[in-house]
Structure 1
Amino acid sequence: MLSPGYEEIVKAPKALLHDHLDGGLRPATVIELAAEVGHELPATDATRLGQWFIEAADSGSLERYLETFAHTVAVMQTESALHRVAYECALDLAADGVVYAEVRFAPEQHLDRDLTLHRVVGAVLAGFREGCAAAADAGTPIRIGTLLTAMRHQARSMEIAELAVLHRDEGVVGFDIAGAEAGYPPTRHLDAFEYLQRENFHFTIHAGEAFGLPSIWQAIQWCGADRLGHGVRIVDDISGNGQLGRLAAYVRDKRIPLELCPSSNVQTGAAASIAEHPIGLLRDLRFRVTVNTDNRLMSGTSMSREMALLVEAFGYGWSELQWFTVNAMKSAFIPFDERLVLINEVIKPAYSKLLA
């Protein structure tokens, strides 16, 4: 059987759990929105600007990588801009064959022009609703769940957690913390995580990307994370012969999903290359591995491109791509019966034809 080609992968249904709204803007949109608010950009040609984001993020440092967001966040400070970015996000993901996505953003980063947290969330949710409707009309249906993110170096996590729960029936399906890991352990936000657990609400935590096993251990054992945002450094607890340490064994035994982002992990120095990415080992050892984009603009990527890179690096076929997709759908923060519908009525029938 021939390896899956990129164009074929685009048409196959995919599920995405780790995608940042402010990391997925179209370069042309950044330019137009920057002109509206008078924000200076490093380039004003869409192609050149897109390349600048990739090159600036390709430093091997998470801190340097995060600096690129100053430009995207700066142009997302009005309701109309937030609505547009969310709308276009839905269309772009749907056009790439994504049938389910969880897109996250930090409401506290969009208050520079006097918006309230509630208006920020409302604008994004409205953009997603209209974008999903337009995608369905175009014959590429997609469902999007929203995660509200708190910045780990700030002190608003409880406020954002309460905001997420307040909007849980309007499209917000989970909570997250993000930002530089070193020096800002997840336990600083323990009150927010305890509140979310009392409210029976789902949350993931960025952990095990730039910082190692202690970050993962705290996210799981202290904070109770449902999933690990990245979690790639769990490989540090696996010996050369595949022997699992106690933390790695716990993560695998409990089927805690790993939101791996291959291209992004290479950019931030969490992996040396796609071919050397721990996703190959973690998949072989049957961890709950999922494939994600992280920041499509900064990585110049898409779900189809991430899948195609793995096909090239590891020789994967349709069965592995289906496995990654079903893993993601099993790990989604929407109700169980709704996950099953997408798995059994959308994903598996499509891959059955590809595997035939």
Structure 2
Amino acid sequence: MSTAVSHRCPSSYEAGLEVSLREFLGAQLDRQVDLTGLRRLAGGTAHETWAFDLRDGERQELHKLVLRRSIERGMLDGDLRTEFDLLATLDRLAVPVPRPRWCVTEDSPLTQPFMIIDRVDGTDIRKHLAAHPETDRHRLGVELVRLQARLHRLDWQDCPPPLARSARGTLHEIERWAREIDASSVDPGPLLRAATELLRDRPPRTSRRCLVHGDFKTNNLLLGADGNVTVLDWELAHLGDPLEDIAWTMLWTTRWDLVGGLLSAQEYLATYQEETGNAVDPEALLSWRIFALVKLAAIFLTGVTRGGPLASPTLRLMGRGLYHIEAQLAELLQAALHEAQPS
């Protein structure tokens, strides 16, 4: 987060945001504050992300902070307040997340809902691996699997009430992403339609309920200079099956990712099973891997649709990623149909 590449926005826009942000923070602390170093960080398709430093004029304390502000036509419709409350819960449980500070979802002085969280010093693990080829990849991979398993062991009843109430089962998650595909301005093609119908007819078996991060991959994990890992970007978090998280992690298989980069798929699953004591059902995992591709396609299609003719280059490139998704779907659908054949 703190080391992402920044880019400059029009000075009037940035200056206006800085004034509004300073006024808000001054009102919250009830004293004069100084705000410096405001800069927008690269990335973000659901939120703008800004880094800045806040100096308390009275106490002379320096706080490194991050502003996450909703994008009006972002790729995802997330509940910022629920995400903020979840971060507060996880911080209280000593889970390594950025500490949340303020959240405003109505009558925002910054025109859009926003939250402000602590800025954690470190580098996302993809960038770290690219810059440090000498990294002990296996050791780091095992550490990340242990962290993921720890998240899955949390008592989901500790989650904020809106999140706990939102646990409506696997079919609800399938329909959520199927609706996004149906609403897209882009024809999803026969493979995606076949995949959604298969999931509706034969939804993945659910073994147990847990907190699902929803986007657990190395560019959402920050490695600090002290070697500690912080988990970022909780906007897709919900209650679901742990295999849903595992299948999503297995989507990303470059040399900079957990699966394919740090551990092989076999090592990843074996480490998870050893850490949790829970066997991974291959048939259920196959269904969740199909679901993961449907979810990813839905996110891509939503971004292109909402962006319209003014869609950013990032969103347009994501749309082109559908070809890669279809290639993987063809392989997994064939395997699923083979399993469905009577022996």
Q: TM-score range by the shorter chain?
A: 0.3 to 0.5
TM-score (norm 1): 0.31
Whose Rg is larger? Answer: 2
TM-score (norm 2): 0.32
RCO (CA 8 Å, sep 6+): is it higher in 1 or 2? 1
